[in-house]
Amino acid sequence: MTLIKSISGIRGTIGGPVDENLTPIDAVKFAAAYGTWLKSQRDKDEYLVVVGRDARISGEMIQSLVMQTLVGLGIDVIDLGLSTTPTVEIAVPLEHADGGIILTASHNPKQWNALKLLNAKGEFLNGAEGQKILEIADSNTMTFAEVDDLGKITVNDAYIDIHIDEVLDLELVNVKAIKEANFKVVVDGVNSTGGIAIPLLLERLGVEAVKLYCDPTGHFPHNPEPLKEHLGDLAKAVVKNHADFGIVVDPDVDRLAFMDETGEMFGEEYTLVACADYVLSKTPGNTVSNMSSTRALRDVTEKHGGTYEASAVGEVNVVALMKKNNVVIGGEGNGGIIYPESHYGRDALVGVALFLSLLAEKKMKVSALRASYPNYFMSKKKIQLTPGLDVDGILKTMEANYSGEKLTTIDGVKIDFADSWVHLRKSNTEPIIRIYTEAPSQEAADALADKIIGEIKAIANI
């Protein structure tokens, strides 16, 4: 099945049958459901939605369908055109809009697209709101505007520059030190909108940017998920150009990973660790990441006298716990930086600026910076589910079997051992159980994952 309807939005592959793939009819139906839900939130004469997209090939088509559907509902639209997820997020409150839509399938391959839905704060909808939109779409109860009440579209292509201004105005972004450091950086923009935004940010910071795949054609030159196995060209370019480090983002620029000066990955999990280390050194406080993220963030937080807590997986869950705990920085181990001084959304531009500030002040190589942090290794495996398998029963049995250890059960089962952990959870989008482990060596992480998989298979008789 390649159309996934969930509380976090709708995503799928382009083409094919209606309600099985992301077709024009599906795009219109869910845009109409979102617009209908938006109008139900408050009774007023005019409504406004900000819409932007990443550079994937289907983006212009899907955006046109979505915007014209909103117009048909009597909703005005600000069209940001080629944009980033965090750019749309900051534009919503700046425009006093009622919501926002980003057309992006994030790190999925080029045949995918999706509607990511925002509230009036420019933040992702919660589970109840997402469920209501799914119900509206299924009920087919949308009512459209009469001819004199149609919405209008206004184009605004200035928001990436406005976003950069907002980043540079952050108190902890040390523009002076960055400019004095004379950094040289290779940027892999995966031929999407990061290829526009990140080089523009670096230029404003006085950083020499060597562009790699920064033409926003939507023809991704490699798998767009920013993992080591996809980034051989970036590694070669960093070494060849004698760069200080490399930057890679995903197509909608909310995930960020670095590569050191030798062409080795800094580690996607350590993007948040490094940025948090910098922020906590200036503004001590608490941190949050999700339960499948590295323990190194806890270590760094405690070093600075703060408290770390883990949320259920999912950006909306991370943000909710961040607000509850009044944290100074948080995010996800997939390279997602959430810095409340800017906004409550993952933002690679903010992450780049904080990382450069840290590096400029410490005056050290990226490899040395990585070596200064606790060293953990992760294993990410999965078990395919068969029909009739009682996943909840399996997780309950594992919980009972490890009742003597520290357990967290807000999202599957997480078992914390002295020097390692394992997180078991049912996927929201695939018929699988995810098994994530972390330990002081890759061998130990893999061995722990294999041990747990063996135990689950024994319980399930598979």
Question: Which residue in 8, 58, 83, 106 is the catalytic one?
Answer: 106
**What's the start-to-end Cα distance of the chain, in Å?**
24
Predicted pLDDT at 428: 67
Predicted pLDDT at 201: 98
Predicted pLDDT at 405: 96
Type and span of the H or E element at 287: strand 287-290
Tokens read off for 433: 């159980």
CB atoms within 10 A of CB 236: 13
Please say whether the structural domain 162-372 has been given the CATH code 3.40.120.10: yes
Q: Which residues lie across from 290 on neighbouring strands? A: 311
Q: Using one digit for the tens of pLDDT, what is the confidence trace for 268-293?
A: 999 999 999 999 999 999 999 999 99
Which is the CATH superfamily of the domain at 3-156? Answer: Alpha-D-Glucose-1,6-Bisphosphate, subunit A, domain 3 (3.40.120.10)
pTM of the model: 0.94
Are residues 423 and 291 in contact, defined by beta-carbon separation less than 8 angstroms?
yes
User: What is the rounded CA–CA span in Å between residue 51 and residue 42?
Assistant: 20
Cβ contacts of residue 454 below 8 Å, gap of 6+?
none
Domain 377-460 fold is TATA-Binding Protein (3.30.310)
Are residues 136 and 319 in contact, defined by beta-carbon separation less than 8 angstroms?
no
Are residues 287 and 297 in contact, defined by beta-carbon separation less than 8 angstroms?
yes
Within the chain, all domains assigned CATH 3.40.120.10 are found at 3-156, 162-372
Among 240, 232, 244, 236, smallest CA distance to 206 is for 244
Within the chain, all domains assigned CATH 3.30.310.50 are found at 377-460
Q: Is 106 a catalytic residue?
A: yes
- Label residues 64-100 b or e (16+ Cβ within 10 Å = b): bbbbbbbbbbbbbbbbbbbbbbbbbbbbbbebebbbb
Q: What is the pLDDT along the chain (462 residues), one digit of tens a residue?
A: 578 887 778 999 999 999 999 999 999 999 999 999 999 999 999 999 999 999 999 999 999 999 999 999 999 999 999 999 999 999 999 999 999 999 999 988 999 999 999 999 999 999 899 999 999 999 988 999 999 999 999 999 999 999 999 999 999 999 999 999 999 999 999 999 999 999 999 999 999 999 999 999 999 999 998 888 999 999 999 999 999 999 999 999 999 999 999 999 999 999 999 999 999 999 999 999 999 999 999 999 999 999 999 999 989 999 999 999 999 999 999 899 999 999 999 999 999 999 999 999 999 999 999 999 999 999 989 898 887 788 899 999 999 999 999 999 999 999 999 999 999 998 766 678 999 999 999 999 999 999 999 999 999 887
- Label residues 325-352 b or e (16+ Cβ within 10 Å = b): bebbbbbbbbbbbbbeebbbbbbbbbbb
CA angle 340, 343, 345 (to 5 degrees): 100
**In degrees rounded to 5, what are phi and psi of residue 330?**
-160, -165
CB atoms within 10 A of CB 149: 11
